[in-house]
Structure 1
Amino acid sequence: MRGDSCSHGLWERSAPAAPALPPFEGDQRTRVAIIGAGYTGLSAALHLAEAGRAVTVLEAAEPGFGASGRNVGLVNAGMWVMPDDLPGVLGADYGSRLLDFLGNAPAEVFALVERLGIPCEAVHRGTLHLAVGDKGLREITDRMQQWRARGAPVELLSAGETRRRLGGGDYAGSLLDHRAGTIQPLAYARGLARAALAAGARIHGDAAVTDLSHDGTEWVLRTARGTLRAEWLIPATDAYTAQVFPQILTEQVILPYFNMATPPLPADLAASILPGREGCWDTPEVLSSFRMDQAGRLVWGSVGRLGGAFAAAERAAHHAWALRAMHRVFPQLKGVGFETFWWGRIGMTADALPRLHRPGPNAVAICGYNGRGIAPGTVCGRALARHVLGEWSIGEMPLPVTPVEPAALRGLKSAWYAVGSGLLHTVSDRL
């Protein structure tokens, strides 16, 4: 996308075309200004427009250009934090509230896709969290027990049943979450943009905000070609936020993540891999993920970057590792390689939970999805819209308001994920 072959890969190749967006020019006014056309910003815009509120989205590139259009496409319930740990992190009230809010989030995504008729390869058949070794099995067993105590439809599968569902692999077991599923992430973002436009929202691409201020009465957003004034502001750029609220980046460790996709597999091979079409990821800290797309391609991903100062060496290390790992799990794919590849950034907070910030008068932002952007981004965008509409007070939001707190050793940790993953992938396929 935009001349970068490593930005969106398969998703750009297989998504419906992006909606045509008018340029942003001159002096304009709106009730609500949103910066960023990812899942959060587009969901907020859609729900505001459907409620009759004038809303304008300014996007530096085009809808889904950031993390929303680059990820794996797993629509997961909850976050990385164990359910029993959430009340200890957020308190009993917010802990229970966030568990319900995010536990139900995938259902909201799939219902929205159906209501709006978004063509995004939505498959609501669950995900498999794959246990690597005894440690991984203990982790998913604890997670299963804690979710089931809250009535969630999750199952612990044996090693044999896991192998049957995968069509390969040698995992100790897996956690099947029936709430979850997969989508084509860029297609979903573009579909949300089309729906928001149809509802009356204004969305402008190539409209990077270069200056932002509050004049005591309203927000003033300046771009290279115009100025937007608004009563309310929703910054929705998250880890791609350096030009808007750079302080948000200080509370996130940046984790690079890449994906590679095979060509469409022959029908017999495609049928032998993930016949139920669940999405998968495993338990190690430097995790792997894989899933099938609608055309029968296997998408394989892990921590690591495919660009930067050492792009060629890093790309070669990750590519070689991905082939080894894929062939170990699915030996029937020996001789099959990758056709497309791409990567992006994940913003990780210290406690692996999102943040609710109030960066100024009549301004609200939720950020830090920790690699779980699809479902949380969708429902958090709706929550921000409800707050702006006056339907939810700030105290009724799913998260408490917190100040920005810089992450400890942020630079070193980000460097470890970027460089350490390449070193790890050079010597191991981890399976």
Structure 2
Amino acid sequence: MRNYDQSLWRQTCRERIDTQKLSDDVSVDLAVIGGGYTGCSAALTAAKAGASVCLLEAHQIGHGGSGRNVGLVNAGLWLPPDQIRSHLGQMAGDRLIDLLANAPSDVFELIEAHGIDCEPERQGTLHCAHSASGFGDLRTRHAQLSASGAPVELLDPDASRQRTGSPAVHGALFDPRAGTIQPLGYAVGLARAAQNAGAQIYTQSPVRSLRQEAGAWVLQGDGGTVRARSVIQATNAYHLGIADTAPDYVPVYYFQYATAPLSHNLRASILPKAEGCWDTGLIMTSFRLDQAGRFIIGGMGDLSSAGGFAHKSWIKRKLAALYPQLADQPLIEGWHGRIAMTSDHIPKITLIGPNALAAHGFSGRGIGPGTVFGRLMAKSLLKDDPSLLPIPSVAEYSENLTGLRRAFFETGAALTHFVKARF
């Protein structure tokens, strides 16, 4: 069976970091479990603050969702502002909205400050209406975002078709704060920056157990032990081992395919301003270009599941619907990633013990929120100040019927793609 874990981003990543396996006993102020955006941001923040830091990644940096991401650096969450406030309350909601409104600036400033080679393009994003009803949803979002101070612009169908070059778009919401990156390059670049600041970065180093002993945390690996005053668990949808602290979420898969670099003539007719895009469909579609001119299109679904054939059949039809001039373009083999989805689509910070926090549930919005959450979790632990967290922590978090709901999402995506691939 084909391995759908190997992404285009792994092939085109220009960032490099030299790491080793954990092979000795280490004592640090902060131990970070997981080498994605959240973990690498936390390690960088703590190391820059002068703390001793150890990051442990079970595979390679960016192995999980961070290395399989679409690469859209969005402001905010999937939810419009009023829904965030309804879940968190006015004060906590406003704080999270403000923090994530600035998340793209945080990301692009880190890229510039540390010379991260990840194809940064801050040309904004377009949330595209897939239908007339989808444009109504964008109107509501535009009103709420504008009332919250976001500099977003609502584009009518004609303007959005001109902006995207696609006849299949029924309107769009433009957010100039946002942009695109090579997502794995950003994760590896954060890890490199953390290492340069003094953090110890260990890869191929899974944590087998986590326990408290004599007032410290003890992380047991295959080749050594880490003792730490504080711990951040940033494993999200790719948690391994440590059953007691496993995050609870609904796993949702998202896959992508890419063309070869397009010719200059084709490239000029598609997203001429290089915005990243996603649509309002319940079974969402994303599309963008990378700096080499590859067109990258994605949708919800597990390529290795029984419904994988439907996803593969649909993608060519969807490509031709969005851009008829690309109908004959071959697509390279796809890849997919796992998303940790929460019922309310709001990330969670769990207090897994004294001086120990875990974050999960970015629901597909990992780049900006992961960067912000990692930074503020590190600051909160180093300063022993819970008020610094982006959202209040909870003692525990659980989801109901996660297996059934995962099957519901996958079945819905497969049926939708099967029908749309045929008609």
Tell me, yes or no, whether TM beats 0.5.
yes
Q: Does 1:337 align with 2:330?
A: yes
Q: How does 1:70-109 map to 2 (within 5 A)?
A: 70-109=68-107
CA contact under 8 A between 2:247 and 2:360: conserved in structure 1? no
Q: Distance between the aligned counterparts of 1:267 and 1:199, measured in 2?
A: 41
Q: How does 1:321-336 map to 2 (within 5 A)?
A: 321-336=314-329
Q: Distance between the aligned counterparts of 1:131 and 1:346, measured in 2?
A: 23
Cα deviation, 1:129-153, whole Å, max 9, x if unaligned, reads 1112232111111111111112211
Q: Distance between the aligned counterparts of 1:321 and 1:121, measured in 2?
A: 29
Query: Given the alignment, which residue of 216, 222, 237 partners 2:235?
Result: 237
SS of the residue aligned with 1:291? strand
Q: Does 1:414 align with 2:406?
A: yes
Counterpart in the other structure of 2:308: 315
CA contact under 8 A between 1:159 and 1:170: conserved in structure 2? no
Structure-2-length-normalised TM-score: 0.96
Q: 1:283 to 1:382 in 2, by over 3 A?
A: same
Cα deviation, 1:61-81, whole Å, max 9, x if unaligned, reads 011001000010011111112
Cα deviation, 1:40-98, whole Å, max 9, x if unaligned, reads 00001011111111000010001100100001001111111220222221111101100
SS of the residue aligned with 2:26? strand
SS of the residue aligned with 1:213? strand
Q: Does 1:123 align with 2:115?
A: no
SS of the residue aligned with 1:210? strand
**TM-aligned CA deviation for residue 30 of structure 1:** 1.1
CA contact under 8 A between 2:351 and 2:396: conserved in structure 1? no
Cα deviation, 1:276-332, whole Å, max 9, x if unaligned, reads 000000111210000000100000000001124x3xxx4332122010001011001
Counterpart in the other structure of 2:339: 346
Q: Distance between the aligned counterparts of 1:246 and 1:184, measured in 2?
A: 34
SS of the residue aligned with 1:139? helix
User: What residue identity is the alignment partner of 1:228?
Assistant: V
Counterpart in the other structure of 1:268: 265
CA contact under 8 A between 1:18 and 1:63: conserved in structure 2? no
Counterpart in the other structure of 1:66: 64
Cα deviation, 1:173-201, whole Å, max 9, x if unaligned, reads 11001111100000111111111111110
Structure 1 consecutive aligned stretches of length 4 or more whose deviation exceeds 6 Å:
none
User: What residue identity is the alignment partner of 1:426?
Assistant: F
SS of the residue aligned with 2:357? strand
User: What residue identity is the alignment partner of 2:276?
Assistant: G
CA contact under 8 A between 1:7 and 1:342: conserved in structure 2? yes
Q: 1:45 to 1:350 in 2, by over 3 A?
A: same
Counterpart in the other structure of 1:182: 180
Cα deviation, 1:258-291, whole Å, max 9, x if unaligned, reads 0000011111101111010000001112100000
Q: How does 1:264-413 map to 2 (within 5 A)?
A: 264-308=261-305, 310=306, 314-390=307-383, 393-413=385-405
CA contact under 8 A between 1:221 and 1:229: conserved in structure 2? yes
Counterpart in the other structure of 1:209: 207
Counterpart in the other structure of 1:157: 155
Counterpart in the other structure of 2:251: 254
Q: Distance between the aligned counterparts of 2:54 and 2:252, measured in 1?
A: 30
Q: Distance between the aligned counterparts of 1:225 and 1:136, measured in 2?
A: 53
Q: Distance between the aligned counterparts of 2:246 and 2:25, measured in 1?
A: 28
CA contact under 8 A between 1:264 and 1:295: conserved in structure 2? yes
**TM-aligned CA deviation for residue 249 of structure 1:** 3.4
SS of the residue aligned with 1:232? strand
Q: Distance between the aligned counterparts of 2:60 and 2:329, measured in 1?
A: 33
User: What residue identity is the alignment partner of 2:355?
Assistant: N
Q: Distance between the aligned counterparts of 1:376 and 1:145, measured in 2?
A: 22
Q: Distance between the aligned counterparts of 1:23 and 1:248, measured in 2?
A: 23
**TM-aligned CA deviation for residue 409 of structure 1:** 2.1
CA contact under 8 A between 2:267 and 2:293: conserved in structure 1? yes
User: What residue identity is the alignment partner of 2:123?
Assistant: R
Counterpart in the other structure of 1:224: 222
Q: Does 1:423 align with 2:415?
A: yes
User: What residue identity is the alignment partner of 2:396?
Assistant: V
Q: Distance between the aligned counterparts of 1:358 and 1:153, measured in 2?
A: 35
SS of the residue aligned with 2:32? strand
Deviates more, 1:92-101 or 1:78-87: 78-87
Q: 1:429 to 1:122 in 2, by over 3 A?
A: farther
User: What residue identity is the alignment partner of 1:258?
Assistant: F
SS of the residue aligned with 1:249? coil
CA contact under 8 A between 1:242 and 1:249: conserved in structure 2? no
Counterpart in the other structure of 2:7: 9
Q: Distance between the aligned counterparts of 2:344 and 2:243, measured in 1?
A: 21
Q: Distance between the aligned counterparts of 1:429 and 1:98, measured in 2?
A: 39
CA contact under 8 A between 1:38 and 1:236: conserved in structure 2? yes
**TM-aligned CA deviation for residue 4 of structure 1:** 6.9
Superposition RMSD in Å: 1.7
- Where do 5+ consecutive residues of structure 2 fail to align? none
Structure-1-length-normalised TM-score: 0.95
User: What residue identity is the alignment partner of 2:403?
Assistant: G
CA contact under 8 A between 1:131 and 1:173: conserved in structure 2? yes
Q: Distance between the aligned counterparts of 1:91 and 1:346, measured in 2?
A: 25
**TM-aligned CA deviation for residue 395 of structure 1:** 2.5
SS of the residue aligned with 2:207? coil
Deviates more, 1:208-217 or 1:60-69: 208-217
